[in-house]
Amino acid sequence: TVGLITKTESNPFFVKMKEGASQEAKRQGAKLLTGAGAKDGDNEGQVTALENMINAGAKGILITPSDTKAIVPALQRARQQGALVIALDTATEPQSAVDALFATDNFKAGVLIGQWAKAAMAGKKPVIATLDLQPGITVGAQRHNGFLQGMGLAKADPNSSNLVTAPQVVCSQDTHGDQAEGQAAMENCLSKNPDINLVYTINEPAAFGAYTAIRAAGKEKDILIVSVDGGCRGVQGVVDGKIAATSQQYPLKMATMGVQAVVDYAKSGKKVSGYTDTGVTLITDKAQPGVPSKDSKFGMANCWGTK
Amino acid sequence: MSTVATTSPAPPRTDFLRSLGSFPILGPVAALILACIFFATQSDRFLSGANFSLILQQVVVVGTLAIGQTLVILTGGIDLSNGMIMALSSVLMTGLYANSGMDPYLAVLVGMAVCVAFGVVNGWLHTFIGLPPFIVTLGTYSIAYSLVRIYTTATITDVPPALNFFGDTFRIGSTAITYGTVAMIVLYVIAWFVLRSTPAGRAVYAVGDNPEAARLAGIHTGRVLIAVYTIAAISYGIAGLLLVGRMGVGDPNTGQNGNLESITAVVLGGTSLLGGRGYIMGTLVGALIVGVFRNGLQLMGIGSNYQVLITGVLVILAASVDYLSHRGK
Amino acid sequence: MSTVATTSPAPPRTDFLRSLGSFPILGPVAALILACIFFATQSDRFLSGANFSLILQQVVVVGTLAIGQTLVILTGGIDLSNGMIMALSSVLMTGLYANSGMDPYLAVLVGMAVCVAFGVVNGWLHTFIGLPPFIVTLGTYSIAYSLVRIYTTATITDVPPALNFFGDTFRIGSTAITYGTVAMIVLYVIAWFVLRSTPAGRAVYAVGDNPEAARLAGIHTGRVLIAVYTIAAISYGIAGLLLVGRMGVGDPNTGQNGNLESITAVVLGGTSLLGGRGYIMGTLVGALIVGVFRNGLQLMGIGSNYQVLITGVLVILAASVDYLSHRGK
Amino acid sequence: MRAATAEGPGKVLLEMKGIGKTFPGVKALQGVSLTVREGQVHALLGENGAGKSTLIKILSGAYAKDEGEILWEGKPVAIRGPEDAQALGISTIYQEFNLGRQLTVAENIFLGQLPRKGFRVDWKTARARSRELLDRLGARISVDAKVERLSVAEQQLVEIAKALNRKTRLLVMDEPSAVLGEGDLERLFEVVRSLQQQGIGIVYISHRLVEIFALADEVTVLKDGRYVATKRVADVQMDDLVRLMIGRDLKDVYPRRATPAGPVLLEVKNLRRPKLVHDVSFHVRAGEIVGFSGITGSGRTEVVRAVFGADPHTAEMTMEGRPYRPRSPKDAIRSGVALVTEDRKGQGLFLKLNVAVNTTISAIRSVTRGGVIRRAKESALVEKMIRDLRIKTPSARFLVVNMSGGNQQKVILARWLSVHTKLLIMDEPTRGIDVGSKAEIYQIMDELTKRGVGIIMISSELPEVLGMSDRIYVMREGTIVGELARGAASEEAIMKYAVGGELAAAG
Ligand SMILES: Nc1ncnc2c1ncn2[C@@H]1O[C@H](COP(=O)(O)OP(=O)(O)OP(=O)(O)O)[C@@H](O)[C@H]1O
Ligand SMILES: Nc1ncnc2c1ncn2[C@@H]1O[C@H](COP(=O)(O)OP(=O)(O)OP(=O)(O)O)[C@@H](O)[C@H]1O
Ligand SMILES: [Mg+2]
Ligand SMILES: [Mg+2]
């Protein structure tokens, strides 16, 4: 039996992950239990699910920790009870709290869009709005900080969960990665400072929210939106020219590898360990010199690692 | 709940002056104006037609949810399910077209029908089984929540043009106003009229004030309650429509805070959670108060943590203003 | 709210049989037992000491929050701020030690003091300004929420051993039980005794049932209410302590659903949101019902969307059982 | 029959001087004075809305006075709240119940002062003492019963027990008799007299002049919030008091003339309700007033609630010869049946709504055109009612919660006079209503019958039953035990049926 615990049930990213896991589980003839927190940052929900899965006899747990530190003690308990614990997409702090980590480097994802944006702005003075996740969530900080570092506007510790900032950032809002909130936040940012010409978004729903607001303001020509995830809908956004560039991740791959690893452990008792980067690719149709990227055709073909 | 311990739900046109003296939603209005003055002094961008139009747009969805919530609360109930009913209807209205190729208008009808179904269930469980509305709607919240996700976890982007209508704008002078804003205001006017000047409206207040007396006065309290929960649910469906118009997508993640946010608007508007006393227009003002806070604080560039802090304080202040403005009576 | 229209809150020991005949929390208990039977048939792992101990652990935090919530609701109020007060106290208790090197016990005291402060503010705004508890605690919810994040956004991992105590276990036979579980049960017994058998406890019922009558009978309703909100806040602080023990960290993201979850437990336990009627032990049962559902459904390996769906349905069913078990009376 | 201690007045206990109180829109009291001596029963008289309750609420600390001073045993005292009044030894029975409906009888009797043993409540003592008090009042209620299960009469007895339970030097009773039947009343009188013997001062408010003469030593009369006069009861006649109260003479309170009864309006056969009503049959003719008499708890209310379709029941009924099966009050109202309930606040009024809404709620259709309530029509209707029934209110927008008891009752009457009523059922219609208004209500009843309306009147006041009824049914334990024609009826005859055989306590 394999247990998969995601941050939420409804974020397409995790839906994809679940999809991959259940396919793989079927192939391997393993039983998959799934659980999730009520919302991003709901640690207790994840702990409860974890405990119940161990009780239900799960050999291994695949988890995307909502709170990279808070989950640790529970994970250690699970490991003491002999379960293999693998973190997907997001590292725990310390990373050693889990047997293995299959993840994207979120900081690098941020850096990539940062570098691209820097190049794409071509000397134009950036006036930046950042639509963030919510305080205290590492992934949010890593992407945000990575972005600013890529822009060359700030230096940041890749593992910090605190947002850095820079004078060029004129408006920062939490969106909880939610499209409606992203839209409201962008609307207010624009009425605060109409000169914004570059928008960083924590994920693609937020990006689309921002785009709706920007189009309503008739500024879609003058503002670049960069984002992270590379989901099929996100890449479609790149194709449509709504999102200028996005860093693509591969949840399906993470899940598949995860289930594989647990099944092996159940069979042979040998544990995987260490960090496996499942890779991140910058997707844009306006490739910039010196910034490695692939176009949206590639993005579509691989969005979140379908096939 | 002395906040609303004042005179008739319907001050007669005849003695206009007295009705002003006991102008029921004086408190909320005062609070709103104070808030506006404050922000006007803090940010030069606040006082602009464009910005107000923006605030209205941001209030449309919660404001519309709060119409139904007001009806329910006037009967002494509470509806926790409203946000999720809205979410369900909005994904259905968009999804049935996008995924099942259904005619958009038909899709809207189906979405509305589902709302009606939920409303009837809420009302029926409350009236005929006698369960507390809090529990009933908590249950239907969960049910709608999961139905949404069982139907789709992917945001529905392929929205028929027809459904974008409420997001479109027309201009008054230089400021663009969305049809959604207009729709919400029209709904408020209708609700205001019905509550104030129709037998049905009277029945709502009567049932909320004293159900047994209402029954013995010849009112079918059961029917009134079911009607209220159903009409409320329809307003949630309309909110869903406006949401789609505003965002241009059908978003399965929406609506989770709709209940608390709408209740806040209702209570800030001076309606008693005990039922029987309240004013629909107060709810609109209550919704605006929240919208103004959020917008104003962001214009001031205050960090999100402090925004929440200040909002908390202001909510209490606003309510106090309302209360104190009625203290005399 | 006919669900609880029965029996004297304090059946004198003398006529034990009558008090059994009208056993107040019969409904919730029946619902709980039914749920257990159902899950026992569905999963062979359900009926084990270890699993029950686990369910108890998972219920400890909400269960403790719900003690304070019950007191508040008995007075006819409601407390939306409880989860965030818990969160604030738990990050302070851990943070003051980890970041400021304060003596752990002192840190706990400070955390508790902050809770008391919030309780007093809640009670004072409600009693002396006369604001509805819903609005007051909604405001203090936001305030506590932001204070937590202003204090720290980083989870506090360096927890003093002393604070882990409630997470530690002892064995009865083969099953390990945490001291936190024991602590919660002790708190319930105390609350039960106080509410049932002390003048203070009876005053809570009296104020909730008919404040005016209480006032005219010479009860200082103001003092009672402030005391209730303060004691409630202390129980949230203890919940924070138990949370730290259970999670082994101080987590700034916790507590956001504490209000709805605790209210659900209270209402499932047969306590009326109108105040004056209810049973603290019913709340414990209510919390267990939710815990059993969650655990049982996960053991059955049901996808969490369907878990939510089923929970919604079951919440309504559980409440119905409670209601129907009282219908006669 | 009057108490022994009437002679030799005890020393002055309480003096209220120049008391004034204003509510928004209402000057409830101005320059009112009241003096009560130890061992004296001092009656307070006045029309509905005269300010009696307001005065005693100021005394009990429920309201704060605007003007005037209060002297206790000659010394000025400030009464800031109920606890101050209680500290002085003033205990009050309010006109409207102040009971916790979910709490037990015993707990209500000890509300706010439960006996302790250590930290615990001493339930044993509390229940035993409550039992004593209730027995003394002859109330056959379990001390563990929840108040919400009690009939209004039973609730009143609990209120009285509650007041007696406090250490008392001055006992204030605001219309304690309003909801009591004859039997309970007698026992109440005995209790009052024995308190009087113990030198306790008593302020007694009632609209029933007979009681004043049976009980009081002195009487103070208020009118429109002003002090009128204080007299020794020995020195006055009923008519004098009436004149003082309403400022005019009142000849023949009961206008009822025997009128030729019309065709049968309502016919009830074999009405049954488990445990409450057993196989009751009766009829009412158009233009007839049918009295229902019987002791409290005899089932009269349960009968009429069934006829009104308010409670489940089995029966064959006809209205104007046509089958009549009311499944809800709405059905009843449609067939022209109306019910004035015995519990005004709980089952009649919308307290937080205004006079207009309360009046037109059942007649709303008649002021509605095209689905819209026509304000003009509504106001006209309401103003007419306020005039016809002489309802004392600053405006049609006044909240009913702030009205005096008697005026609230008139508002309910106004509600039923606003719809086309053929059969008007009145459960204790003049409960708590002043003599003037009473006469007016009787007048109205009489006029209604002349228009062919049939009336069922439940009343625990024998003079009223005898004075107004064309026929009288007497109930006991849920059945009709006797029927008396206007001529044949007398108090003795009725009580004989009502208590069944043992005439003893009756009369
Ligand atoms: N809380 C209040 N607010 C406004 N007006 C009030 C309030 N209480 C009483 N009144 C008014 O004060 C006047 C006196 O009322 P009060 O109840 O003292 O009369 P009462 O003599 O007790 O009449 P009844 O015999 O019917 O009980 C009435 O006109 C009433 O409408
Ligand atoms: N609300 C109630 N709940 C439970 N029992 C009640 C209730 N009201 C009345 N009863 C009981 O039902 C029986 C009939 O009461 P009912 O009020 O019909 O008597 P009644 O003849 O109308 O006397 P009253 O003068 O009090 O109206 C009595 O035993 C009474 O105690
Ligand atoms: Mg009075
Ligand atoms: Mg009766």
String of b and e for C126-162 (b: at least 16 CB within 10 Å)?
Answer: bbebbbbbbbbbbbbbbbbbbbbbebbbbbbbebbee
In this complex, which of A9, A173, A179 lies closest to B149 when CB atoms are compared? A9
* Most distant CA pair in chain D, distance: 71
Same domain, D155 and D220: yes
Distance (angstroms) between ligand 1 centre and the Cα of D52 equals: 8
**C15 pLDDT higher than 70:** no
- Indicate the residue among D359, D385, D419 that finishes a domain: D419
| pLDDT confidence of residue D414 | 92
Percent of chain B with pLDDT over 90: 53
Same domain, D208 and D125: yes
- Tell whether D369 is within 8 A of chain C (Cβ): no
Question: Cβ separation of C276 and D98 shorter than 8 Å?
Answer: no
Cα C281 to Cα C63: distance, rounded to the nearest angstrom: 10
| pLDDT confidence of residue D103 | 93
Ligand that comes closest to the CA of residue D296: 2
DSSP D226-265: EEEEEEEGGG--HHHHHHHHHSS----S---------SEE
Cα D495 to Cα D506: distance, rounded to the nearest angstrom: 6
| pLDDT confidence of residue D9 | 63
Q: How many structural domains does chain D have?
A: 3
Contacts of C202 in chain D (CB under 8 A): 107, 114, 121
| pLDDT confidence of residue B69 | 97
Ligand that comes closest to the CA of residue D394: 1
DSSP B15-39: THHHHHHT-TTHHHHHHHHHHHHHH
Contacts of C307 in chain B (CB under 8 A): 146
Mode of pairing for the β-strands spanning A245-248 and A274-277: unpaired
A and D touch with 3+ CB pairs <8 Å, answer no
Cβ atoms of residues C180 and C242 within 8 Å: yes
Confidence of residue C23 (pLDDT cuts 50, 70, 90): low
Cβ atoms of residues C230 and C53 within 8 Å: no
More confident residue, B54 or C86: C86
Question: Cβ separation of C206 and D100 shorter than 8 Å?
Answer: yes
| pLDDT confidence of residue C314 | 80
Question: Cβ separation of C142 and B260 shorter than 8 Å?
Answer: no
| pLDDT confidence of residue C178 | 92
| pLDDT confidence of residue A134 | 81
Chain C residue at shortest CA distance from A51: C54
Query: Could you report how far apart the first and last alpha carbons of chain C are, in Å?
Result: 13
Cβ atoms of residues D454 and D290 within 8 Å: yes
Residue D206: CB within 6 Å of ligand 1? no
pLDDT one-digit tens code per residue, D75-90: 999 999 999 999 999 9
| pLDDT confidence of residue B22 | 52
Cα C27 to Cα C269: distance, rounded to the nearest angstrom: 8
| pLDDT confidence of residue C295 | 87
Give the 3-state secondary structure of residue A224. strand
Cα B224 to Cα C323: distance, rounded to the nearest angstrom: 22
Q: What is the mean pLDDT of residues B76-85?
A: 94
Same domain, D154 and D278: no
Q: Which residue has the least CA distance to atom 30 on ligand 1?
A: D403
Average pLDDT, chain D: 89
Cβ atoms of residues B19 and C146 within 8 Å: no
More confident residue, A25 or B25: A25
| pLDDT confidence of residue A70 | 85
Q: Hey, what amino acid is at B119?
A: G
Q: What is the mean pLDDT of residues D252-262?
A: 76
Q: Which residue has the least CA distance to atom 22 on ligand 2?
A: D301
pLDDT one-digit tens code per residue, A86-141: 999 888 888 888 999 998 888 999 999 999 999 998 888 999 999 998 877 788 89
Same domain, D484 and D494: yes
pLDDT one-digit tens code per residue, B131-190: 889 889 999 999 999 999 889 878 888 888 888 888 888 888 888 889 999 999 999 999
pLDDT one-digit tens code per residue, D324-382: 999 999 999 999 999 999 888 889 999 989 999 999 999 998 899 998 999 999 999 99
| Residue B136 tokens, joined | 């009933």
Residue D23: CB within 6 Å of ligand 1? yes
Which helix H or strand E contains B214, and what residues bound it? helix B211-216
Confidence of residue C325 (pLDDT cuts 50, 70, 90): low
Cα B272 to Cα B323: distance, rounded to the nearest angstrom: 12
Same domain, D327 and D354: no
Contacts of B272 in chain C (CB under 8 A): 132
| pLDDT confidence of residue C213 | 93
Question: Cβ separation of B247 and A212 shorter than 8 Å?
Answer: yes
Distances (CA, A) of C68 to C74, C199, D500: 10, 18, 55
Cα D68 to Cα D51: distance, rounded to the nearest angstrom: 15
pLDDT one-digit tens code per residue, A160-204: 878 888 999 998 888 888 888 888 889 888 888 889 999 999 998
Contacts of B135 in chain C (CB under 8 A): 264, 267-268, 315-316, 319
| pLDDT confidence of residue B11 | 35
Chain D residue at shortest CA distance from C209: D100
- Which of A210, A212, A243 is CA-nearest to residue A228? A243
CB atoms within 10 A of CB A263: 19
Cα D218 to Cα D125: distance, rounded to the nearest angstrom: 37
Sequence-distant (6+) residues with CB within 8 A of D225 are D21, D27, D28, D29, D30, D32, D50, D51, D54
Same domain, D325 and D411: no
Distance (angstroms) between ligand 1 centre and the Cα of D392 equals: 9
**Which CATH number covers residue D468?**
3.40.50.300
Give the 3-state secondary structure of residue A23. helix
Cβ atoms of residues D404 and D424 within 8 Å: no
- Which pTM does this prediction carry? 0.86
Sequence-distant (6+) residues with CB within 8 A of A201 are A130, A131, A175, A182, A207, A210, A225, A226, A227, A228
Give the 3-state secondary structure of residue D216. coil
Task: Mutate one of A40, A48, A50, A132 to test the C interface: name it (highest C CB count within 10 A).
Answer: A48
**D118 pLDDT higher than 80:** yes
C87 CA: distance to closest CA in chain D (Å): 33
- Partners of D204 in beta bridges: D43, D173
| Residue C169 tokens, joined | 């276990």
Q: What is the mean pLDDT of residues B223-245?
A: 96
- Which of D131, D149, D123 is CA-nearest to residue C10? D123
**B3 pLDDT higher than 50:** no
Cβ atoms of residues A33 and A1 within 8 Å: yes
Give the 3-state secondary structure of residue D387. helix
Query: Could you report how far apart the first and last alpha carbons of chain A are, in Å?
Result: 24
**A245 pLDDT higher than 90:** yes
Q: What is the mean pLDDT of residues C51-80?
A: 94
| Residue D329 tokens, joined | 């009050």
Q: What is the mean pLDDT of residues B199-225?
A: 94
Task: Mutate one of D328, D335, D343, D350 to test the B interface: name it (highest B CB count within 10 A).
Answer: D350
| pLDDT confidence of residue C17 | 39
Average pLDDT, chain B: 86
Residue D28: CB within 6 Å of ligand 1? yes
Chain C residue at shortest CA distance from B5: C130
Average pLDDT, chain A: 87
**D488 pLDDT higher than 50:** yes
Give the 3-state secondary structure of residue A100. strand
CB atoms within 10 A of CB D116: 12
Distance (angstroms) between ligand 3 centre and the Cα of D430 equals: 14
Inside any domain, residue D448: yes
DSSP A37-78: -SSTT-HHHHHHHHHHHHHTT-SEEEE--SSTTTTHHHHHHH
Same domain, D122 and D234: yes
CB atoms within 10 A of CB B59: 24
Range of the domain at D365: 350-419
Q: What is the mean pLDDT of residues A245-256?
A: 88
Inside any domain, residue D343: no
More confident residue, B318 or A171: A171
Question: Cβ separation of D368 and B198 shorter than 8 Å?
Answer: yes
Cβ atoms of residues B253 and A10 within 8 Å: yes
Same domain, D83 and D211: yes
Percent of chain B with pLDDT over 70: 91
String of b and e for B225-254 (b: at least 16 CB within 10 Å)?
Answer: bbbbbbbbbbbbbbbbbbbbbbbbbbbbbb
| Residue D162 tokens, joined | 């509650």
Q: Which of D45, D47, D53 to mutate to test the pocket of ligand 1 (most atoms within 8 A of CB)?
A: D53
Distance (angstroms) between ligand 2 centre and the Cα of A105 equals: 77
SS (HEC) of chain C: CHHHCCCCCCCCHHHHHHHHHCCCCHHHHHHHHHHHHHHHHHCCCCCCHHHHHHHHHHHHHHHHHHHHHHHHHHCCCCCCCHHHHHHHHHHHHHHHHHCCCCCHHHHHHHHHHHHHHHHHHHHHHHHHHCCCHHHHHHHHHHHHHHHHHHHCCCCECCCCHHHHHHHCEEEECCEEEEHHHHHHHHHHHHHHHHHHHCHHHHHHHHHHHCHHHHHHCCCCHHHHHHHHHHHHHHHHHHHHHHHHHHHCCECCCCCCCHHHHHHHHHHHCCCCCCCCCCCHHHHHHHHHHHHHHHHHHHHCCCCHHHHHHHHHHHHHHHHHHHHHHHHCC
| pLDDT confidence of residue D297 | 80
Query: Chains near A, with 3+ CB pairs < 8 A?
Result: B, C
Distance (angstroms) between ligand 1 centre and the Cα of D351 equals: 14
Confidence of residue C281 (pLDDT cuts 50, 70, 90): very high
**C326 pLDDT higher than 70:** no
Same domain, D100 and D68: yes
Residue D30: CB within 6 Å of ligand 1? no
Helical spans, DSSP H, in D308-434 = 329-334, 344-347, 355-360, 375-388, 405-417
pLDDT one-digit tens code per residue, C109-128: 999 999 999 999 999 999 98
Question: Cβ separation of D123 and C203 shorter than 8 Å?
Answer: no
Same domain, D150 and D291: no
- Indicate the residue among D248, D264, D284 that finishes a domain: D248
Same domain, D65 and D174: yes
Same domain, D441 and D302: yes
Contacts of B251 in chain A (CB under 8 A): 179-180, 205
| pLDDT confidence of residue C22 | 53
Distance (angstroms) between ligand 2 centre and the Cα of D312 equals: 15
Domain C48-324 matching CATH 1.10.3470: the answer reads yes
* C81-95, C163-177, D339-353, D362-376: range with highest mean pLDDT: C81-95
D205 CA: distance to closest CA in chain C (Å): 19
| pLDDT confidence of residue D503 | 45
Rg (CA), chain A: 19
More confident residue, A12 or D237: D237
- Indicate the residue among D216, D248, D280 that finishes a domain: D248
Report which DSSP code applies to D365. Answer: G
- Which of D469, D498, D501, D466 is CA-nearest to residue D481? D498
